[in-house]
Structure 1
Amino acid sequence: MATVATPLIEAEGLSISFNGSAALSGVDFDVAAGEIHALVGENGAGKSSLMKILGGLYTPDAGSIRVRGEATRLVSVNDAALAGVAIIHQELNLVDTLSAVDNIFLGKELRTRFGFPDRRAMHAAATKVLAQLGFRVPPSALVGTLRVGEKQLVEIAKALLADARVLIMDEPTSALSDTETQALLTLTRDLRERGMGIVLISHRLGEVFAVADRVTVLRDGRRIATLQMPQVESSAALVSMMIGKDFAPPERSEAEAPRERACALDVCNLTLWNAARALVADVSFAVQEGEVFGISGLLGAGKTEILEAIFGVSPYRRDGEIRAAGHAHAFDSPDRAAAAGLAFVTEDRKKDGLVLDQSLEANLLLPSLSRAPGFPFYRRGKLHAWADAQAHASNVKHRSLAQDASTLSGGNQQKLIIGKWLMTKPRLLLLDEPTRGVDVAAKAEIYRQILAAAREGVTVIVASSEIDELMLLGDRILVMCEGRARGILPREQFSVDALVRMASP
C-alpha cells in the first residue's frame, strides 16, 4: 500500500464546460509517488477531461493545480512534460507514415555528440521497452501498417520513454489481449516500486482491483468518492457508484445455448497471404444459426483478418472457401456482403465504424436505406421515427438525432454502431472487439443486445481480446495462435488457463 506523502500532482476544485455543458464540476484529485490511483466512471463522466487538464491539453474554467506542493499552471503539453506528466491517450496520437521508433522519439530524438539523430540508440531503446510490452512486430515497421492493439503498445512505449514522474494511462489495455494486459500490469507495478505516480483509467475493473491503491469515482462530472481499494466491496459495488443505482451484471443462462440447427457459415481451409507470408493459414470452422461463436488469440493471431475475409474487405489474397447458408461466397465489397445479410462492427469505430461529422440519424440509416419504409420513395418523418426507435432500443444517450456522432462518448458511439447494423436485420453479425474502450454499464447493455440478437436467430461471431467476454457470450471459442487455429473449445470446457495456454506460441 502506498504511503501518505506530498502528492506529485494535486488538483483542487477543477471545473470546465464545453458549449455550455459542464464536463467537470469542482473535482479534487491527487496522486502520490509510489501509488497507483485508479479513476473510474461511465463514458462521459469526465475522466478524460480531468486527465487532459493535468496533461496541459485543456485549461480549466476554475480550480488550481499543485506539482510537488507548488502552485502550477499547465497551459500546454510542454508545461505538463516539464512538470513530469506524461499521458497514454485512449485515442491514439501517432503518425501513420513514420515507423514505431520514429513515433516513440518524435520531438525528443536522441542525438550523437555531433548533433545528428542517433538512430542506433533510439532503435535499441525502443526495442527494449517494446519487448517488455510483448510487441511482436519489428520496431522499424510503419505505424500505418499496425493493428489497433499494436499501435496502443507504441503509444505506451512512447510515454514510458518520456522519463515522467506522473504517468496517466487512459484505457491502456483496451485493445490488448489478456496476455499483453498482464505484461503491462506487471510493468505498472514495477514503475510504482520505482516511485512513479500512476493514474490508471480503465473500464476493466479487474485491473483496478489487481493493481490500484486508491480509486476515485466520477459521475456526471462530479467526484462521488475517493476510497482505498480495501474499502471497495466488489466490482458491482463500484459500478453502482458509477451509475448511481444498483447494478446487476449480465449473466448467460445455459438454456440460451443453441440446440442443433442449420449451418449458417462454413469456413474451409481459409488462408490469407500478404506479399511475404500467410497471415492466416488453413483455418476451418462452421457456425450454426443463432450461435454466438468466439474467436480468441493474442495480437496478430489473425482474429480481425478472418472477419475481414468473411465480410469481403480483406486486403489480402485469399485461398480456401467461405460458404454462407450453403452457398459459396467471395464478397469483394461491403455492399454485397450487407445485401447478403452480413453486418460487420469493426474494431476501430472512429476510422471505420462511423462518419463522425454526420448526424446520428445519418449514421443509423446509412447501411439500411434500401430497407427503409417506402423504399425508394422516402418519407422523411418515417425515416426519422425509424432511426429514433433504434437509438432508443440501443439506449444511445443523446440530445438529438441531429447531433454529430463525434459528440457522443465512446460507449454511446459503440452502441450506435451496433444499433445501425441491427437495423439491417442481419443473418450474420460479425463483431471485432465490440466493447473496446466501453464502460462497464454500457458493456453490459451491449452484451444483452448480442444475446438478444442470438435468441432471435442471428448468428454472431465475436473476435475479442477479453477472455471473460468470450466466456460469457460464447457457445464455442476458436483459439488462434500466429495465424493458425489451435482448436475449438465448447462451453463446458471454457477456462482462462486453457484459453491462454492454447493462444500462447
Structure 2
Amino acid sequence: MTPSASTGPAAAPRDGAPQPAQDIAPLRPGSTPPLPLVAATRISIAFNGSPALSDVDFDILPGEVHALVGENGAGKSSLMKILGGIYLPDAGALSVGGAPVAFRTSADAIDAGIAIIHQELNLVDSLPVVDNLFLGKEITTRFGFPDHTAMRAKARAVLAQLGFKPSPDALVGALRIGEKQLIEIAKALLADARVLIMDEPTSALSDAETHALEALVRTLRERGMGIVLISHRLQEVFDLADRVTVLRDGRHIATLPIGRVESAEQLVSMMIGKQFVAPRRDAGAVRAASDAMIDVRELTLSGEHRPVVDRVSFDVRRGEVFGLSGLLGAGKTEILETLFGVSPYRVAGTVAIGAARRAFRTPAEAVEAGVAFVTEDRKKDGLLVDQSVEANFLLPSLAHIEGFPFYRRRAAARRVAAQTKASNVKHGGANELVATLSGGNQQKLIIGKWLMTDPVLLLLDEPTRGVDVAAKSEIYQQILQAARAGLTVVVASSEIDELMLMCDRILVLCEGRSRGVLERAAFSADELVKRASP
C-alpha cells in the first residue's frame, strides 16, 4: 500500500483504521504468557565489517501474525535467514519452544518446523510445477518409485488454496512471475511448518491472488501457526498483523500491537527516522487538449488458443500518466511489450506512437524514437547484476555521452554521478556490483538509467514491485516530476493505490478486453476491482 491522506489507514486515528483479523487476547492477572514458537535474542551479524543487525530481539507466538517492516537494507531478510538457518549469527541466541537451538543449515530449521517463502524465486524453469513442488522430497510408492499420482493430487490441493489456475504439469518457465510466486508459497505450505516466514509474498500477485493468500493466512493462524509477514504493502500489515516490529539500519526500533499504530504515516516515519509525507499527482496536471502521444485502435494480440488482448482501444496524451489496471493475465504487460516492439504474439489493429505516428518492430526502433521500458522482472530483463553500477547506468545511453562513439570516462562518470544523485541510488561506488544493491536501489537505478536517455515516453511494468515504502515514495516523486516536465508515462501495476496516486486516467482490463477508461475524478478501489473482475 502507498500511505496517503486518502487511502487505507493513512492519517486516521487507529479506531478508523482497518482492524486486524484477530487481536491477541490480553493476559489475565497471574496467567502465564505462551512460549514463543521461535525467539531470537540480541542477534548481531555483520558482512564485510558492516553491521547488518545489532542486538535485535524478535519472537513469534502461536496463532499470531507478526509483521516485520523497515526500509530495504534495514536487516529484515538477514534476520529471517538467521531464523531459517541460512546465516549463522555473530552473536545472540535462538530458541524453539523455549529450548535453545543452534541452526547450522536450512535443513536444521526445516526440521524444527520453520519454513521460509523467499522474495527471490528459487524454481527450475525447465521442470513442471509439480516437480518443483516436490523437488528433493518426492512422494514414493512402497517400492521406492516416485508416486506421480499422489504428488499431482497433493499439488492440486495446495495450489487450489491459492487460486492457482495453470495445470500442475505446466512448465514453470512459461508462467508469469505472479504464478511462480504462488508456487514458492505452495512449497512452503507443503513443508507442514509450525512457523511460516513470508518475505514479500504478494509483491507479484494480483488482487484476487492476494485476497486468496490473506484468507489462507487467517486460516493458518487459527490453526495455531506462527506467521512472520515481511511486506512493503502496509495495508497488508494493518489487515493481517497482530504485532509489528520496526527495524532501521539493523537495529530494533519498536515492537507494538497493531492496535497501537495510529497510521501508515506513523509506521513509515518510524522506519525512516523522520517525518514522512507521501507524494501525489496534482489534479488536472494534463490539459484536456494535449496532443496524443499514443493512439491504439482495435489492438488484438493472438495467442495459440485465444486472443491475449482482444480489440483494445485507448489514447495517451503528452505529459500524461496513464495507468493499466487488471488482474494477472489481463493483458497489461502484453500491451506494454507491443508498444516497445517486443510482442511475441500476432499483432492486429493499429498502433500510432509519437510524432511519426507509427508502431515499432524492434526495441532498437523504440529506443531510437525516445521510448524507454522498465520491465517487470528487474533481475531477468532490467539489469546486468554481475556488472557495475556505472555500466548499468550507461548501457542504454552511451550514444548520448559527450564524445560518442569514443568512450570518455570522465564524461561518462559525470553523467552517472548526476543521475545517481537525481535518482537517490545509494551504493558504495560506481564500480560496485549491482547484485549487492538493495531491491529499492536496483529499481531506482533502472528507472534512472532510462531517464538518462531523455525519453519522450516511459513504459513502466510493476515499477515498485518488492520496493519499500520510502523507496516507493522516491520513485513516485521522480516519475511525477518527469511527467510535470512533459514526459509521457504508461504504468501497469497490480497495486490499485499506486495507480490512483500517480495516474491521470486508468484503463481497466479484464481477460484481455477493455472495461473502460476512468478519469481521476471517478477513481475508486471498488470500481477498479469491479471492472477488472470477470
Show CA shifts across 1:439-491 (max 9, x none).
00110111111111111111100000000000111111111111111211111
- Aligned to 1:112, the other structure's residue is in SS state coil
Alignment RMSD (CA, Å): 1.2
Is there any run of 5+ residues in structure 2 with no aligned partner, and where?
1-22, 26-32
Contact 2:353 2:359 in 1 (8 A): no
Contact 1:10 1:66 in 2 (8 A): yes
Following superposition of structure 1 onto structure 2, how do residues 377-396 of structure 1 map, counting pairs within 5 Å? Answer: 377-396=406-425
**Which AA in structure 2 matches 1:200?**
L
Q: Does 1:370 align with 2:399?
A: yes
Q: Does 1:2 align with 2:2?
A: no
- Aligned to 1:500, the other structure's residue is in SS state helix
Following superposition of structure 1 onto structure 2, how do residues 1-400 of structure 1 map, counting pairs within 5 Å? Answer: 1-2=23-24, 4-400=33-429
| Residue matched to 2:17 | none
Q: How far, CA to CA, are the matches of 1:359 and 1:258 in structure 2?
A: 41
**Alpha-carbon shift at residue 47 of structure 1 (Å):** 0.4
- Aligned to 2:348, the other structure's residue is in SS state strand
Deviates more, 1:428-437 or 1:71-80: 71-80
Q: Does 1:459 align with 2:488?
A: yes
**Which AA in structure 2 matches 1:28?**
D
- Aligned to 1:327, the other structure's residue is in SS state coil
Show CA shifts across 1:176-220 (max 9, x none).
122221221111011000000000000001100111000110011
- Aligned to 2:72, the other structure's residue is in SS state coil
Q: How far, CA to CA, are the matches of 1:116 and 1:388 in structure 2?
A: 59
**Alpha-carbon shift at residue 326 of structure 1 (Å):** 4.9
Contact 1:342 1:428 in 2 (8 A): yes
Contact 1:321 1:328 in 2 (8 A): no
**Alpha-carbon shift at residue 431 of structure 1 (Å):** 0.2
Is there any run of 5+ residues in structure 1 with no aligned partner, and where?
none
Contact 1:179 1:500 in 2 (8 A): no
| Residue matched to 1:445 | 474
Show CA shifts across 1:205-239 (max 9, x none).
11001110001100111111111111111110111
**Alpha-carbon shift at residue 17 of structure 1 (Å):** 1.2
Contact 1:297 1:480 in 2 (8 A): yes
Q: How far, CA to CA, are the matches of 2:349 and 2:124 in structure 1?
A: 35
Contact 1:23 1:221 in 2 (8 A): yes
Q: How far, CA to CA, are the matches of 1:257 and 1:52 in structure 2?
A: 46
**Which AA in structure 1 matches 2:401?**
A
**Alpha-carbon shift at residue 368 of structure 1 (Å):** 0.6
Q: How far, CA to CA, are the matches of 2:352 and 2:466 in structure 1?
A: 33
Q: Does 1:482 align with 2:511?
A: yes
Deviates more, 1:84-93 or 1:98-107: 98-107
**Which AA in structure 1 matches 2:24?**
A
**Alpha-carbon shift at residue 400 of structure 1 (Å):** 0.8
**Alpha-carbon shift at residue 279 of structure 1 (Å):** 1.4
Q: How far, CA to CA, are the matches of 1:336 and 1:372 in structure 2?
A: 19
Show CA shifts across 1:49-107 (max 9, x none).
11011111111111111011111111111111100000111001111011111111111
**Which AA in structure 2 matches 1:80?**
A
- Aligned to 2:220, the other structure's residue is in SS state helix
Q: How far, CA to CA, are the matches of 1:249 and 1:103 in structure 2?
A: 40
Q: How far, CA to CA, are the matches of 2:169 and 2:308 in structure 1?
A: 19
Show CA shifts across 1:16-55 (max 9, x none).
1111111111111110110100000000000001101111
Show CA shifts across 1:296-353 (max 9, x none).
1111111111111111122222222211125353433322211111000001011111
Task: Give the counterpart of 1:422 among 445, 451, 476.
Answer: 451
Deviates more, 1:156-165 or 1:251-260: 251-260
Q: What count of residue pairs does the alignment treat as equivalent?
A: 505
Q: How far, CA to CA, are the matches of 1:389 and 1:326 in structure 2?
A: 29
Contact 2:68 2:246 in 1 (8 A): yes
Contact 2:281 2:503 in 1 (8 A): no
Runs of 4+ in 1 over 6 A off after TM superposition: none
**Which AA in structure 1 matches 2:346?**
R
| Residue matched to 1:492 | 521
Q: How far, CA to CA, are the matches of 2:446 and 2:113 in structure 1?
A: 38
- Aligned to 1:480, the other structure's residue is in SS state strand
**Alpha-carbon shift at residue 111 of structure 1 (Å):** 2.1
- Aligned to 1:270, the other structure's residue is in SS state strand
Deviates more, 1:409-418 or 1:134-143: 134-143
Identity percentage of aligned residues? 67
Contact 2:294 2:352 in 1 (8 A): yes
Q: How far, CA to CA, are the matches of 2:361 and 2:89 in structure 1?
A: 49
**Alpha-carbon shift at residue 266 of structure 1 (Å):** 1.1
- Aligned to 2:412, the other structure's residue is in SS state helix
Show CA shifts across 1:127-173 (max 9, x none).
22222222222221111011111111111111111100000000001
